[in-house]
Structure 1
Amino acid sequence: MRSIWKGAISFGLVTIPVKLYSATEQRDVRFHQVHREDGGRIKYKRTCTVDGEEIPYSDIAKGYELPSGDMVILTDEDFAELPLTSSRRIDVLQFVEAAEVDPIYFAKSYYLEPDAQGAKPYVLLRDALENSGQVAIVKIAIRQRESLATLRVRQGVFVLETMLWPDEVRTPDFPFLDEDIEVRKQELSMATSLIESMEGEFDPSEYKDAYREALQAVIDAKVEGREVARPAEEAEEEPAADLLSALRASVEAAKKSRGDKDGKAGSGKDDAEKKPASRKTSSKSGQKKEPAQKKESTRSRTRKSA
């Protein structure tokens, strides 16, 4: 991995030099715009809408358009004068319970690696934070954008997750929220049963991006020059007569699916349990013969003494 930012964690009077790395990556299949006839790449020229001239990067600035249509032009000097106090620091603001931070605020995740000189204070803060069960609320500036973030521990490494500002999270405003929708007790009970029947431990490796795999298969087929087999369309299920019937059918299907899995696992256990039972029987039969041998030896000694 290549670091994208260097700075320091500022924790009270303690400064911990660190490097920032992207913790995630997109695995989307990427395409280029090309000419359909010959596959040539499509290029765009940077032209000015006023004079029609092609503009080099050195002459391009950022502009903020006003409601009137007028443009406010900002230069690099304007951005350089902005007060980014945390430009090279990760300022620890406070510590909170992880459950207090709504996941909707999270934007992107990064790993933090300590410099050689900062390894000990890094480990000290890491262990203290992990023992507390809390997360740190911090402030950081990346690429001229200041963000709130959380700092937590994952697999022995600090994970910094940038957050959206409160005014960047939309408030849900949907008509059904104002409607008086009645849910019957029986329906709620059946829905709860469905949830319970589908409970399990989350294992991300059990899931896959079916669309990406299918798209990659199409590309591979194009490369190999063979026909692409289209999967058969799934039969559409008929909608249930009412909500309660749909919930009941879903619960039964979930129980049947789980029962099939348990049955397969249980058959192996039964076979394993039967084998030790046969061994126990043979060992018991051996134990019964031992007293008989002892009696015979006792009788022989008695005869000799007589």
Structure 2
Amino acid sequence: MTPRANWKGLLRVGELVCPVALYTAVLTSERIALHILNRATGHRVQRHFVDEETGQPVERDDQVKGYEIGVGDYVILEPDEIAAAVPESDRMLTVSAFIACREIDDIYLDRSYYLAAGRGAETSDEESVYPLIRDAMRDMKVAALARTVLFRRLRTLLVRPHGTGLIASTLHFDYEVRSVDEAFQDIPGGGLKDEMIDLARHIIGTRTGHFDPAAFDDRYEGALAELVRAKSEGRRIEAPSRPARGTVVDLMEALRASAGQKTPPGRPSGGRSGARRKAG
């Protein structure tokens, strides 16, 4: 079955224009969905909105959105007011700039969509615009920044070559991405010996592989599916044993063990290395 496009419009780069369509690249519908049930009856539970002061249910027609400007003080926004304030879509995905792929910070990437060539090209030259843009971007190793109204919001998208087509990713706004300073402030500094760095590089080198998403296992979904099967069949499922967490007592010994090397003769086992004291 042909997938349904999330958005259809025109891709514009200067005076070059071609029809395009956005398709969801990542699906979550195959995940196991769990419902909330009444333990006593086994019936599904429905969710209702209630007034937090009176405790009375609020019907859908009486529900309205609001923004809190003070404690308990809200500005009410009617649906038609919100609709009037939202930019209208002109169905035009306009490229504002091209940037080197190496400059892209992945933390800003939000959700990805396949940006496919759409139907409706009026001339053969217009049909050639899409592959022309794709190939030129791939040759120059660049991505495009483009803007359009998507899902009632003006969004910036990052467009990159992907296989025989293009992929467009919505971007987080800068104010949405938290600073790393607080998260990384407790990470210890340097003081590591060259030998330690060499051993770490050796360990990484011996474990270098390739990115293969097909090899990734969704252990949560698998365990949940097995639990559902076991309970529906009346079987008892045993919880898997948890691997013991190792403790690094001597960093140099742990590095040598990971690299398949033995502790040099005469070196006592255990204890803390000088480098470990500095790092800690």
- TM class by shorter chain equals 0.7 to 0.9
Are 1:11 and 2:13 matched, yes or no? yes
Q: Deviations over 1:92-149 (max 9, x none)?
A: 0111111101111100000123332234332232222223221111113222222222
Compare CA radii of gyration and give the structure with the larger one. Answer: 1
Aligned to 1:247: 255
3-state SS of paired residue (2:87) = coil
Cα pair distance change 1:44/1:211, threshold 3 Å? closer
Distance 1:108 1:235 in 2: 34
* Root-mean-square deviation over aligned CA pairs: 2.3
Aligned to 2:233: 224
**Which moves more between the two structures, 153-162 or 23-32?**
23-32
Count of aligned pairs = 251
1:38 to 38, 41, 56: 41
> Are the equivalent residues in 2 in contact too, given 1:16–1:122 (CA < 8 A)?
yes
2:139 to 127, 131, 155: 131
3-state SS of paired residue (2:211) = coil
Are 1:24 and 2:26 matched, yes or no? yes
More helix by share: 1
1:39-78 correspondence to structure 2 within 5 Å: 39-49=42-52, 52-78=55-81
3-state SS of paired residue (1:66) = strand
Which of the pair has the greater relative contact order for Cα pairs under 8 Å at 6+ separation?
Answer: 2
The residue type equivalent to 1:154 in the other structure is H
Give the superposition deviation at 1:189: 1.7
> Are the equivalent residues in 1 in contact too, given 2:68–2:74 (CA < 8 A)?
yes
> Are the equivalent residues in 2 in contact too, given 1:33–1:42 (CA < 8 A)?
yes
The residue type equivalent to 2:162 in the other structure is R
The residue type equivalent to 2:80 in the other structure is E
> Are the equivalent residues in 1 in contact too, given 2:89–2:152 (CA < 8 A)?
no
Structure 1: tracts of 5 or more residues without a match: 254-306
> Are the equivalent residues in 1 in contact too, given 2:110–2:170 (CA < 8 A)?
yes
Distance 2:47 2:41 in 1: 18
Cα pair distance change 1:4/1:59, threshold 3 Å? farther
> Are the equivalent residues in 2 in contact too, given 1:92–1:136 (CA < 8 A)?
yes
Q: Percent of aligned pairs with the same residue? A: 29
TM-score by length of 2: 0.80
Give the superposition deviation at 1:166: 1.6
Q: Deviations over 1:194-227 (max 9, x none)?
A: 1111112222222211222111111111222223
Distance 1:139 1:240 in 2: 50
Distance 1:28 1:55 in 2: 32
The residue type equivalent to 2:155 in the other structure is S
1:113-192 correspondence to structure 2 within 5 Å: 113-118=116-121, 119-172=127-180, 173=182, 174-176=184-186, 180-192=189-201
Cα pair distance change 1:235/1:134, threshold 3 Å? closer
**Which moves more between the two structures, 92-101 or 49-58?**
49-58
Structure 2: tracts of 5 or more residues without a match: 122-126, 262-280
Aligned to 2:244: 236
